[in-house]
Structure 1
Amino acid sequence: MKQEEVNLCQIQEWYPKFKSVSIKTLIHELPESFVEYLLDDHGPFLLPASVVNEDALPNRICNPEEEEDYQVSEGSGDEAEQPPSPPSFPELELKIKESIESLGGAVFPKLNWSAPKDSAWISTTGTLRCTSFSEIALLLRSSDSLIHDLCHAYDSCSDKSLSRPPNFYLALRKWYPSLRPEMEFRCFVRDRLLVGISQREVTGFYPALLEKKSALEVVIREFFKDKVSQTFQLENYTFDVYVTMDDRVKLVDFNPWGAFTLPLLFMWEELEQNCAEEGHGVEFRIVESQSAVRPGLKTAVPYDYLATGPGSGWDQFLRNADQELERQTRSPEAGG
């Protein structure tokens, strides 16, 4: 994989060309001071001071056990250690406030490549829904997975010459409360041919997908042919789509082929083999029973940092799951 492939999958690179078929998004270049704030892991967890005074979040996420470290002793005067002041990014906050309002009052954030999915638990809703600058800062500052974007985006590149991109961007995407997780799919493109489609949310079984599978494959393949294949520059990549209730396809994201991109219901070796087999066509995989549900793979490190090769823990776990599914399918109770 080359650096160019990684760069072209940044949202600020691809979104302008695909905005008509994607989720409405507004993108802001981040000042370096805010990037440094996201990377700072020293001292107390401080949220930026709000200049609009509309946020209900406290300025600090406190740890009572550490509180005494920042107490000022009576009579100690200037010699006492003063608690650090929260950082402030007034220009960025005002721009983000305007964007949130123009996008209907709620957004979900992501950086150049990744969204802070691993920190959704810390929000009041347990989701990535944000209505203020402080909520966005809280999600970004709490996320371990965003360290990939900030520090390790090029680690898998054969021509690596950078440790990070020259600029970081914050993409604010319109929040749709009615989105159904089972209708998002990852598509795999090799040599400009669509070779695989996988259910994106592999941690759940959705019976309705069994009935709609054929129709979904048709609309996704048509979308790739009409909207993506002749426009996106790379030969090898993946892209995520969402299919609406009236069968319209919306582009969600692009990711490089391999490296830190999760293959979901495939293995990368399978996809490579599919490409090598002439006339193989598109393979569409969904979770077809409750016993085929996969474990959550929203890890806090890039996929290529995980031990997933032959003999690894993940490899053995997934093989055991596949064997158990095959056993249950062939059992008398299953009618096999």
Structure 2
Amino acid sequence: MKQEEVTCCQIQEWYPKFKPVSIKTFIHELPESFIQYLVGDSGPFLLPTSVSNEDALPNRIHKPEDEEDYQLSEGSEDESEPSSPPPSFPELELKIKDSIESLGGAVFPKLNWSSPKDAAWISTTGTLKCTSFSDIALLLKASDSVVHDLCHPYDSCSDKTMSRPSQFYLALRKWYPFLRPEMEFRCFVCSQQLVGISQREVTAYYPAVLEKKDELRDLIHDFFLDNVEGKFKSENYTFDVYVTKDRRVKLIDFNPWGAFTLPLLFTWEELEQGGRVEEEVDFRIVESQHTVRPGLKTAVPYDYIDMSAGSGWDQFLRNADEELQQQMRGLQKQVHKHLPSG
């Protein structure tokens, strides 16, 4: 994977071109002071002081001394000495407040590449639904996925020349509460050719999707031909889409080919082979209860859940899947070896 392939998957890079076919999103350039606040790990977990009095988890995160189990450790500053003031980003907060109101009062946040899916547990709703700047700051500050964006986005690149981009952005995406998990799909493009489509939610069987399989393949393929083909900067990449009840296809995200991107119901070897063979696009869904993949959490909207592409759990699952494939190949060789000849 090349550095440029990762760079062009940043939302601020692709969204302006694909805005008409994507989810409504407002993007804000983040000041470096806010980035340093997110990556800083010294002192208590403090949220920025809100100029609009919209605090997430009030009286708990802002004031750790109010916690029953809070103790001043030996050798720390005397209680009478003034402590450092909590961080404050009033200009950024007011811009974000305006964007949230313009998007209907609720958003989910995303940095250049990742959303804080792994931190959803800390919110009052257990999702990435945010209605204030403090909600957003809480999720971003608590997320390891965000730290990966901030510090290690290019670690998997063969031509790595930098550890992070020069500028970070916060994308606020309109919150939709009633999306159906079975209707998001990942599309794989090799040498600018759509070679595979996989259902994103592979932990459950949805008979209605099976009934519409051919129709869904045609809808997504036509969407690619009309809106994506030849318009994205990379030769090899993946993109995620959501199909609405009225048969419209919405672009959700772009991801690099390989590396930390999950191939879902494919293997990367199958997809690369598909890129060398001219045939109908291979469209895979969970077609029965027997083909469900338990434990692989990919429900829509993917940015709302606590599993992150590139996270430790993502890498663990990919490694586990590769190990399983190797074991199966080894078992097949053993069985073949002991079969009687003739």
Under TM normalisation by the shorter chain, which class is it? 0.7 to 0.9
Task: Find 1:67's aligned residue among 66, 70, 79.
Answer: 70
Structure 2 residue matching 1:150: 3-state secondary structure:
helix
1:46 offset after TM fit, Å?
Answer: 0.8
Q: Distance in 2 between matches of 1:296 and 1:307?
A: 11
Residue matched to 2:282: 283
Taking a change above 3 Å as real, the CA distance of residues 13 and 299 of structure 1, as seen in their structure-2 partners, is closer
Q: Distance in 1 between matches of 2:42 and 2:207?
A: 47
Q: Distance in 2 between matches of 1:155 and 1:123?
A: 29
Matched residue type, 2:23? I
Residue matched to 2:193: 193
Matched residue type, 1:100? I
1:202 offset after TM fit, Å?
Answer: 2.0
1:89 offset after TM fit, Å?
Answer: 0.7
Aligned residue pairs total: 315
Is the 1:109–1:171 Cα contact (8 Å) retained in structure 2? yes
Structure 1 position 184 matched with structure 2 position 184: yes
Structure 2 residue matching 1:147: 3-state secondary structure:
helix
Unaligned runs of 5+ in 1: 323-336
Q: Distance in 2 between matches of 1:236 and 1:313?
A: 25
Is the 1:186–1:198 Cα contact (8 Å) retained in structure 2? yes
Is the 2:261–2:309 Cα contact (8 Å) retained in structure 1? no
Taking a change above 3 Å as real, the CA distance of residues 304 and 161 of structure 1, as seen in their structure-2 partners, is farther
Q: Distance in 1 between matches of 2:240 and 2:314?
A: 22
1:291 offset after TM fit, Å?
Answer: 3.5
Residue matched to 1:266: 266
Is the 1:107–1:173 Cα contact (8 Å) retained in structure 2? yes
1:44 offset after TM fit, Å?
Answer: 1.1
Is the 2:107–2:175 Cα contact (8 Å) retained in structure 1? yes
Structure 2 residue matching 1:187: 3-state secondary structure:
strand
1:34 offset after TM fit, Å?
Answer: 0.8
Write the mapping of 1:199-218 to structure 2, written as runs, cut at 5 A.
199-218=199-218
Q: Distance in 1 between matches of 2:252 and 2:142?
A: 23
Structure 1 residue matching 2:108: 3-state secondary structure:
strand
Taking a change above 3 Å as real, the CA distance of residues 119 and 302 of structure 1, as seen in their structure-2 partners, is closer
TM-score calculated relative to the size of structure 2: 0.84
Task: Find 1:315's aligned residue among 303, 312, 322.
Answer: 322
Q: Distance in 2 between matches of 1:186 and 1:77?
A: 55
Q: Report Cα offsets for 1:192-240 as digits up to 9, x if no partner.
A: 1000111112222222111111110000000000000031121110001
Taking a change above 3 Å as real, the CA distance of residues 158 and 56 of structure 1, as seen in their structure-2 partners, is closer
Q: Distance in 2 between matches of 1:83 and 1:70?
A: 15
Is the 1:28–1:169 Cα contact (8 Å) retained in structure 2? yes
Structure 1 position 240 matched with structure 2 position 240: yes
Structure 2 residue matching 1:37: 3-state secondary structure:
helix
Matched residue type, 2:130? C
Taking a change above 3 Å as real, the CA distance of residues 103 and 268 of structure 1, as seen in their structure-2 partners, is same
Structure 2 residue matching 1:265: 3-state secondary structure:
coil
Matched residue type, 2:289? Q
Residue matched to 1:138: 138
Matched residue type, 2:70? E
Matched residue type, 1:242? Y
1:117 offset after TM fit, Å?
Answer: 1.1
Is the 1:49–1:87 Cα contact (8 Å) retained in structure 2? yes
Taking a change above 3 Å as real, the CA distance of residues 183 and 116 of structure 1, as seen in their structure-2 partners, is same
Residue matched to 2:225: 225
Q: Report Cα offsets for 1:245-283 as digits up to 9, x if no partner.
A: 01100111111111121111111122112223x224311
What RMSD over aligned residues (CA atoms) do the two structures have, in Å? 2.7
Taking a change above 3 Å as real, the CA distance of residues 269 and 93 of structure 1, as seen in their structure-2 partners, is same
Residue matched to 1:157: 157
Matched residue type, 2:128? L
Q: Distance in 1 between matches of 2:244 and 2:322?
A: 34
1:57 offset after TM fit, Å?
Answer: 2.4
Is the 1:237–1:256 Cα contact (8 Å) retained in structure 2? yes
1:319 offset after TM fit, Å?
Answer: 7.6
Is the 2:237–2:254 Cα contact (8 Å) retained in structure 1? yes
Q: Distance in 1 between matches of 2:96 and 2:261?
A: 29
Unaligned runs of 5+ in 2: 298-306, 330-342
Structure having greater relative contact order (Cα 8 Å, sep ≥ 6): 2
Q: Distance in 1 between matches of 2:232 and 2:69?
A: 50
TM-score calculated relative to the size of structure 1: 0.86
Higher deviation after alignment, 280-289 or 191-200: 280-289
Is the 1:50–1:134 Cα contact (8 Å) retained in structure 2? yes
Is the 2:308–2:314 Cα contact (8 Å) retained in structure 1? no
Residue matched to 2:253: 253
